Structures are given as structure tokens and as C-alpha cells.
Amino acid sequence: MVPALGLGTWGMGERGSSAGDEAAALRLGLDLGMSLIDTAEMYGDGGAEEVVGQAVKGRRDEVLIVSKVYPHNAGRKKMAAACERSLKRLGTDCIDLYLLHWRENVPLLETVEGFDALRQAGKIRRWGVSNFDVADMEELWRLPGGTACAANQVLYNLMRRGIETGLAPWCRELHVPIMAYSPIEQGKLLAKPALKEIAATHNATPAQVALAWLLRHDGVIVIPKAFHQNHVRENCGALDLELTAGDIAALDRDFPRPRGKRRLEML
């Protein structure tokens, strides 16, 4: 079991002077029950993992840590070394969920074998992928050991509903959780009139409406980033917001589900 609402770290660890405040925001999230933290070796060139390590120090058992490996490090030997670097920055001996950040040139079978070797060595508990479309997932499922994939992290929010026409149904059928990154479109959703109107009727905020819309979907884990503690509290409040059928219909009118299959979008 994992929380449906976690903590993102994209953009953290880029300025050393902010690391303390960023770690404090993550610790507050843990206090509020948002016990999944998502990070990556790419974020801040490892700086975000260091912030996470600072945040979870002394309370590692409370946290499910997700990190991601660069595609150019996804070969078996390079992956082992990359994982060791991430473990050191995180201050832990095991990553709970280790994802391939996106696909490039390393054969997918070699990546799966690398993940399995890390799992057998006790360096990771589970592995998954990120930015995989239906064709990628189908290829993965045909590989030996490929069905051990525990999650697919993709871009998903009210403005980016393309996965609903192909990838999301595929993942539901095969019981692969989706992790939704950029759930408020890097802040662009907050100015949308439809979200403001619905938020006003619930004494909520546009961000909470956007997050609540995602949280109502089965099998979706939402990982908003929050640099500041007041934003962490705001995000957590989305768990208590129940959108009505009228709210959902209004959002569908302003942010319609696309017709026909769409290619997976990425940021």
C-alpha cells in the first residue's frame, strides 16, 4: 500500500541555500501523511536526492522513496554504479521504487536485467518505468521479467488527458499504477476560470481542485512538488475535497478528453 498523494522534488536541490527549506517542506509532508517522495538522479544533478536524504534522516522507515535512473545509465553496469550514487545521496541502503526515467538507446532487456540484479542484491525493492507509452509497455511485457514493472510515471493533469484514450486503460487492465507528474501543469492550471469557480464553491484553491480531480481516479498516484510549507499544507487539503458530479462535468467541458489515441506527452 502506498499513499495516493505524495511529494515531488523536480526543481529541488538546485540552490544550496534553499536545501534546508526544501527539506523542511518534505518533512512537513511526512508529518501530514504524504509518505511517498519522488526524486531522480537528474533533478538538480543529484541535489534533489541529497535534499530527500536530509528530509528523511532519522525517519527512513516512514517513507517510500522513488528515484529514477538516467536512460544513458540504464545498462546493467552503469545502472549499478548510478544506483550506488543515488543511495549515497539519499542516505539509505535501499530504494523502494527505482524507475527508468525515459527510453533511449540501451536495450530494454538489459535494463530489466539490471533492475532485477539490483533487486536481488537488495539495493532496490521494486522497479518501474517513466514516460512509457502503450507500445513501450507492450514491448516490456513481452520481455522475460518485464511484468515485474511496478509503476509507470507519466505526465497527467486536466490539460494533458491524452493517456485516457490508450495508456491509462492499458495500465488499469494490467494493474500497473500510474504516477502523475506535473499535476498542476507547473502552475499553469491555477489561473483557469473553471478551477477558480469550482474552488470558490468549496472554499478551496484551484490547486486543490486540480489535485482532487486526479485523486478520484483509481490506480493513480499524484506527486505535486511544493517548495514551501504552506503549499504542502494546501496540497494535502486536496485529500478532503470531494468534487461533485456537476464539478466533474464542468471540468470535462473546459478540459475535454481528447478523441482518438494520442502520443504520450512529456515535459
Residues with catalytic annotation?
Answer: 43
The residue written with cell numbers 528523511 in the block is 56
What does the CA dihedral 16, 20, 22, 27 come to, rounded to 10 degrees? Answer: 150
What whole-number distance in Å separates Cα of residue 24 and Cα of residue 121?
32
The residue written with cell numbers 526543481 in the block is 11
What whole-number distance in Å separates Cα of residue 113 and Cα of residue 140?
12
Q: State the Cα angle at 26 between 40 and 218, rounded to 5°.
A: 70
Query: In Å, what is the CA distance from 243 to each residue of 19, 178, 200, 224, 250?
Result: 35, 21, 12, 19, 11
Number of neighbours of residue 230 by Cβ within 10 angstroms: 10
What whole-number distance in Å separates Cα of residue 85 and Cα of residue 92?
11
Residue 23 has which C-alpha cell?
527539506
What whole-number distance in Å separates Cα of residue 93 and Cα of residue 122?
8
What whole-number distance in Å separates Cα of residue 128 and Cα of residue 99?
5
Burial class (CB in 10 A: 0-12, 13-18, 19+), 113: middle
What whole-number distance in Å separates Cα of residue 120 and Cα of residue 253?
48
